[in-house]
Amino acid sequence: MMFTRCGYSLNRTRSGDTFPTVSSLDKPMKQRVNLKVLVRLEKTFTEAYAMLKEVYGNECLSRTQVFEWFKRFQEGRETTEDGKNLENVID
């Protein structure tokens, strides 16, 4: 079952869990999701970057951005959110 929530298209599994469909995400988010998969498949940075360039061409994230996200995912980061919408709270 598919429905929309918070601007993302979500699929509902039989257990009732929901997850966003990749087609509903913006291009940078799609690239981060794909990069996360490549890291889990134990691709090297060079292999992963080449694959993203092949798929996204001129719309690919910069080499620096891909490297930063690649490193984050290798270190165990789970979320693909970039944090731009998060406010920094200073006590």
Looking up tokens 């869990």 gives: 17
Residue 37 placed within a domain: yes
- Look up the CATH number of the domain holding residue 62: 1.10.10
Q: Which two tokens stand for residue 84?
A: 């731009």
Residue 4 placed within a domain: no
- What is the distance between the alpha carbons of residues 8 and 21, in angstroms, rounded to a whole number? 8
Walking along the chain (91 residues) 10 residues at a time, the average pLDDT comes out as: 40 58 74 95 97 94 96 94 57 39
Q: What's CA 5's distance to the chain center, in Å?
A: 18
The reported pLDDT for the residue numbered 54 is: 95
Domain count, the chain: 1
- Please give the model's pTM, rounded to 2 decimal places: 0.66
